[in-house]
Structure 1
Amino acid sequence: MRPPKEKKYTEGKILTALTQLAIPIILANVLQTAYQLIDTFWLGRLGANAVAAVSLSFPILFLILSLGGGLTLAGTVLVSQYKGANDQKMVNFVSSQTVLVVFIVSLLLAVIGFTMAGPLMKLIGAGPEVQAESVAYFKVSALGFVFLFIFFVFQSLMRGIGNVLLPVYVILVTVLLNLVLDPLFIYGYGPLPGYGVAGAAVASVFTQGISAAVGLYILLKGNHGIKIHLSEMKFHLSWTKKLFELGLPSSMEQSARALGMAMMVVLVTSFGSEVVAAYGIGARILSFVIIPALGLAIATTTLVGQNIGANKLHRSEKTGILSVKIAFFGLTGIGALLFIFAEDLVRFFVPNEPQVIQDGAMFIKIMGPSFGFLGVQQVVNGTFNGAGFTKASMFISFLNLWIIRFPVGYFLAYHTDLKHEGIYWAFPISNWISAIVAFVYFRMGYWKKRLGNK
C-alpha cells in the first residue's frame, strides 16, 4: 500500500511550514508535560515532602531517559533526510532499525533504573523524610521505560516525515486518562488502596503502556507514511553504528542537561525541603515554558533535514534564522507574563505553603527575563541537529549547564550572601551566555561547510 500523500516541506513559505510543524509538536509537548503538572497538582495536596520526593526523582529519571533519547533523534534526522530525498524504502528501513535499537536500550535502562533506585536517591541527597517515597516513585517509573521509549520513537519517526498530528491524538487520550487515574492511585477509592507518591507513577506507567501499544500498531500497519517490518528488525552493525554516531552526541547532550539538573538539585537539597519544593515547582514551570522553544526546535530539525535531503541548503539556513527570531520574541513575551503572575502560579500547586510560594515565585521572576535567550539556544541546536551536526548541540548544552550554570550556582550559593537565590541566578546567566555563543557559531556557517565536504 502506498503511504498517504503528505505535505512537502521543501518548497513554499518557510513560515507556513514551520507553523504547520511546530504547533502540533508544541501541543504534544504541552500534553506530555501535563503528566508532570498533573502529578504536582495532586501531590501538592499531600504537602511539600511529596512534591520534594518527586522533584528529587525527576532529574535522575530524565538522565536515564536521555541516555536512549538521542537515538530517537537520530531516527528523526535520518528519516527526515530520506523523506526529503523521496526514498520511502530507506524511510521504512531506518525506522525499523531505530525501533529495534531503542527497544533493546530501553530494556537495559529499565533494569538499571529499578535496581539502582535506592543508591541513586541517596546520591542526589534525598533526606530521610523523602527517601522512601522518592525511591518508590522512581522504581515504578523505571518499569515504564520500555513503554515510554517505544512511544518516543514512534513520535520521533512521525515527526521526521512531517506527520506531527497523529502523536497528538494519542497523547491527548492518555493524558485525559492520566488525569482520572492520578487521584485514584494516589488517594485510593473504595476497595482500591491509595499508593501516595508512588500512585502518580503507577498512573503514568499504565497510560504510557497504552500509548506505546498504539504507536507500534500504527507503525506496523503502515497507513501513515511509515511501515516497519519485522524482517528488517535484524541487527545491522553498520546502521546501528550510524544511529549511535548521530544519536550519541544527542544522548550526551541530554544526559549533560539531566546531570546538570541533578547537580543543581544537589545544591538545593542543603537548604531544606521547602526550598527543594520551591525549586521543583520552578523547574516544572521552566519545563513548561521551554515547550514552545523545543517544539520550534524539533520543527526546525525536521524542516532543515528534509531540505538538506532535497539539496536545498540555502532554504535550510533561512529556516534557522526565522526560527531564532520567532523563539526570541515569543519566549521573551512568555517570560514577561510569568514574571507578572509568578506567585499565582506557585500558589496553584502548593496553596498551603507560604514559604514555598515566596521562594518559587522568586525563582520564576529571576528566570523570566532570560527565556528568549533560552529559545535561541534551542532552535539553533535544532538547526544543527537537522544537518546531522549533533556534536555542536552537545557542546552548546555542555557549555550552558556544566561550564556556566553549575559553577555559577555553586559559587553564588555557598560563597556569597545570596544563598539559595544564587542557584536561581545561575539559570539566566547561563542562558544569556550560551545563546550568544550558539548564535555566533551558527552564523559562522561551519555546519554548511561540513555538509559541502560530504
Structure 2
Amino acid sequence: MSGSGVFLCAFECESCTRGGVPLSLSHVLLQKASPLARPTGTHSASRYQASLLEGPVLGSLLKLSIPIVLANILQSGYQLIDAFWVGRLGGHAVAAVSVSFPVTFLLIALGSGFSMAGSTLVAQHMGAGNHHRVNQVAGQTILLVVVTSLSLSLIGILLAPGLLGLLGVEEAVYDAALVFLRISMAAMVFTFGFSMFQALMRGVGEVRLPLYIVTGTVLLNVVLDPLFIFGFNLGVGGAALATLVTQALALGTGLWLLVRGRHGIVLKGHDLRPDPVFIRRALSLGLPASVELSARALGMNVMVFLVTGFGTVTIAAYGVGTNIMAFVIIPALGLSMSTAALVGQNIGAGQIERAGRIARLSALIALVSLSVIGLVVFTFARQLVAFFVPGDEAIIEAGSHFLHITSLTFGFIGAQMALTGVFRAAGHTVVAMLLALVSQWVLQFPLAFILSRDTVMGVDGIWWAFPVTNMVTALIALILFMRGDWQKGRLAEREDPLSAQVSDEIISKGPGPSA
C-alpha cells in the first residue's frame, strides 16, 4: 500500500474588515446578528459539513469514498509508470528501484502519523463547528509535517549508503540504487506535504480537489519519466526526479488552495506558530499511528525472509500475489479513509448514533465488496498471475495456489480496515496500533514461521497464515468496536461562534499595549 494541509482562521477574512481596519467588538456583534455576514471560508466549510452530518449515510459514504478510491488508483500509477520505463533500462535498473522501495516505504510510514492526527482533529473540529480550530489544527499539522519530513529526508540521504549495505545490495546494482534512493529521500518532503494536504482535505470533507491534482500530476509523470530517464540520460535517477517534480507541483498547488481559503480551510500566519498543547495532542495521536504503519511495513518485509528460503519460484509467486492483493485492497483503503472523515465529523458534532450507523454500514460494504472481489480473484487466479509472468508455468501455478488460499478472506481485510478507520476517527490510534502489532507480529509472522518450518505444510504454511490472520484480526476489531469505547472519543467541543470569532481576531491582531 502506498500512501499522502492547512490553515487559519475561518473567521478572519474580508468580511471581518472594513477598508483594512480590523472590526471592533461592536462590529462582531452586528455580524452575529446578521445571517448574511459570513466570513470567507465558511461558505465552503458549511457546504461540506452539511452533506456529512445529515442525509442518507450511504450517499455520504459513496460521495467521499469514490474520489478517494480513484485518487489511490491513480497514485499507484506512479509505480506502474516507473516500472514500465525503468524496465526498459534492464534488470539491474529494476533491481535498483526494487531494493530502494522498502527503505522509502518504512520512512514514509514512520512520518505519516502526524497527517493522520491532523485529519482526525480537523474532522472532529469541523463536525463541532469550530472552524477557527480547524484552521489552527491545519497550521500546526503542516508545521509538524515539515519538521518531520525534513528530518527524515536528511537522515535518509545521509544513511542511504549504510542502509543499502545492510540490505546486501549487489555491487552491480549499488550505484544506481544509491542515486535512486537519495533522490527519493529528497522528494520525501514533497510526498509528505501532499499526503498531509490530502489528509486535511479529507478531514473537512473535500475529496475532489486532491483527485484533480493527482490526475494532473500522474499525467505529467507520463511525460517526465521518459524525458528524464532517456531524454536527459539520467537513468533510474530520472524516474525518482520525475516523482520529485510532480510531487513538488502537487504540494505547491495544495498550499496555494489553502492560502486562498475557499475549500473549508483558511491558511494564515498565526496558525503556524508552535502551540505546545496541540503538539502534545498530535504526538499522542500521531506516534501510535506511525508505529501502526511501520509495524505493517516491517511485517511485510520480514515475511520476505521466510519466503526466500523456498526458492526463486516461491519468491516470484509471493511478489506477484502480494502485488495483486495490494491493488485489490485499494477500494477498502478508500472506504476506510472516508469512514474516518465521516465518523470523525459526526463524533465532533455529538452525533454518536449516526457515527455508529456509518461505521456498521462501512464495515458491511467492505466485507461484501471485497468478498466479491476475492471470489473473482479466486476464479481467475491463473489468468491474473499469468498477466505478470506470461509463459512461466511454475510461477503461475505457485502464484495461483497462493491466491486460491488467501482470496476468499479478502472481505475480512475490508471489514477490519473500515473499523480501523473508526478507531482513528475517534482518536483511538493506540487501538489501531495494537491491531497492527497483533496482526503482523503475534499472528501472521509467527504462524507463517511455525507452519512452514515445523510442520509438513512447507510453503503452504506461509500462505495459510494470511487467511487465518485476516479472519482473527477482523474478529478482534469487531469485538473492540462492539465494546463501544470509541464512542467516548470526542476530542472537540462546540464553541460559541462569537467567542471563537473574537478570540481569533485577538490572535490575528496580537497582544495589545500593556497598561
The answer to whether 1:161 aligns with 2:161 is no
Structure 1 position 145, deviation (Å): 0.4
Secondary structure, aligned partner of 1:116: helix
Q: Deviations over 1:228-280 (max 9, x none)?
A: 12232122211111111111111111111111122122333445566444433
In structure 2, give the amino acid aligned to 1:159: R
CA distance in 1, matches of 2:401, 2:159: 34
In structure 2, give the amino acid aligned to 1:71: F
195, 203, 211: which is aligned to 1:152? 195
CA contact (8 A) 2:427 2:489 kept: no
Which structure has the larger Rg? 2
Which position in structure 2 is the counterpart of 1:295? 334
The answer to whether 1:30 aligns with 2:73 is yes
Q: Deviations over 1:13-56 (max 9, x none)?
A: 11111111111111111111222233334445566665554444
105, 109, 112: which is aligned to 1:69? 112
The answer to whether 1:213 aligns with 2:252 is yes
Which position in structure 1 is the counterpart of 2:305? 266
Which position in structure 1 is the counterpart of 2:479? 440
TM (norm. structure 1) is: 0.91
CA contact (8 A) 1:48 1:353 kept: no
CA distance in 2, matches of 1:62, 1:110: 12
CA distance in 1, matches of 2:410, 2:223: 32
User: What aligned pairs does 1:53-68 form with structure 2 within 5 A after superposition?
Assistant: 53-68=96-111
CA distance in 2, matches of 1:263, 1:437: 23
CA distance in 1, matches of 2:456, 2:90: 29
Which position in structure 2 is the counterpart of 1:323? 362
Structure 1 position 436, deviation (Å): 0.9
CA contact (8 A) 2:139 2:267 kept: yes
Which position in structure 1 is the counterpart of 2:235? 195
Q: Where does structure 1 lack aligned partners over 5 or more consecutive residues?
A: none
In structure 1, give the amino acid aligned to 2:253: V
In structure 2, give the amino acid aligned to 1:281: V
CA contact (8 A) 2:426 2:489 kept: no
CA distance in 2, matches of 1:274, 1:135: 28
123, 127, 136: which is aligned to 1:93? 136
CA contact (8 A) 2:122 2:137 kept: yes
In structure 1, give the amino acid aligned to 2:116: L
Secondary structure, aligned partner of 2:53: coil
Structure 1 position 10, deviation (Å): 1.1
CA distance in 1, matches of 2:142, 2:168: 35
Which deviates further from its counterpart, 410-419 or 314-323? 410-419
CA contact (8 A) 1:37 1:284 kept: no
CA contact (8 A) 1:44 1:349 kept: no
TM (norm. structure 2) is: 0.81
In structure 2, give the amino acid aligned to 1:86: G
Which position in structure 1 is the counterpart of 2:380? 341
Which deviates further from its counterpart, 32-41 or 377-386? 32-41
CA distance in 1, matches of 2:393, 2:88: 14
Which position in structure 2 is the counterpart of 1:375? 414
Q: Cα gap change, 1:105/1:378 in structure 2, threshold over 3 Å: closer, same or farther?
A: same
The answer to whether 1:313 aligns with 2:352 is yes
CA distance in 2, matches of 1:168, 1:317: 28
223, 228, 232: which is aligned to 2:267? 228
In structure 2, give the amino acid aligned to 1:230: G
Q: Cα gap change, 1:100/1:435 in structure 2, threshold over 3 Å: closer, same or farther?
A: same
In structure 1, give the amino acid aligned to 2:166: L
Q: Cα gap change, 1:193/1:278 in structure 2, threshold over 3 Å: closer, same or farther?
A: farther
CA distance in 2, matches of 1:377, 1:430: 11
CA distance in 2, matches of 1:138, 1:427: 30
The answer to whether 1:39 aligns with 2:82 is yes
CA contact (8 A) 2:452 2:461 kept: yes
Which deviates further from its counterpart, 24-33 or 353-362? 353-362
Structure 1 position 412, deviation (Å): 3.2
CA distance in 2, matches of 1:92, 1:221: 13
CA distance in 2, matches of 1:51, 1:280: 14
Q: Deviations over 1:360-398 (max 9, x none)?
A: 444333331121010011011001111111111111111
Q: Cα gap change, 1:326/1:129 in structure 2, threshold over 3 Å: closer, same or farther?
A: farther
User: What aligned pairs does 1:241-256 form with structure 2 within 5 A after superposition?
Assistant: 241-256=280-295
Q: Cα gap change, 1:207/1:349 in structure 2, threshold over 3 Å: closer, same or farther?
A: farther
CA distance in 1, matches of 2:310, 2:156: 27
Which position in structure 1 is the counterpart of 2:404? 365
Q: Cα gap change, 1:408/1:60 in structure 2, threshold over 3 Å: closer, same or farther?
A: farther
CA distance in 2, matches of 1:130, 1:416: 37
Secondary structure, aligned partner of 1:193: coil
Which position in structure 1 is the counterpart of 2:222? 179
In structure 2, give the amino acid aligned to 1:115: L
Secondary structure, aligned partner of 2:264: coil
CA distance in 2, matches of 1:274, 1:41: 22
Which deviates further from its counterpart, 424-433 or 295-304? 424-433
- Give the RMSD, CA atoms, in angstroms: 2.4
Which deviates further from its counterpart, 300-309 or 5-14? 5-14
In structure 2, give the amino acid aligned to 1:39: D
Which position in structure 1 is the counterpart of 2:442? 403
Which position in structure 1 is the counterpart of 2:145? 102
In structure 2, give the amino acid aligned to 1:231: H
Secondary structure, aligned partner of 1:244: helix
Q: Cα gap change, 1:418/1:58 in structure 2, threshold over 3 Å: closer, same or farther?
A: farther
Which position in structure 1 is the counterpart of 2:56? 13
Task: Give the fraction of aligned pairs with identical amino acids, expressed as a percent.
Answer: 44
CA distance in 2, matches of 1:450, 1:232: 25
The answer to whether 1:389 aligns with 2:432 is no
Which deviates further from its counterpart, 403-412 or 74-83? 403-412
CA distance in 1, matches of 2:411, 2:133: 38
CA contact (8 A) 2:422 2:486 kept: no
Which deviates further from its counterpart, 437-446 or 199-208? 199-208
Q: Deviations over 1:288-338 (max 9, x none)?
A: 211111111111111111111111111111111111100001001111222
CA distance in 2, matches of 1:338, 1:48: 29
CA contact (8 A) 2:78 2:218 kept: yes
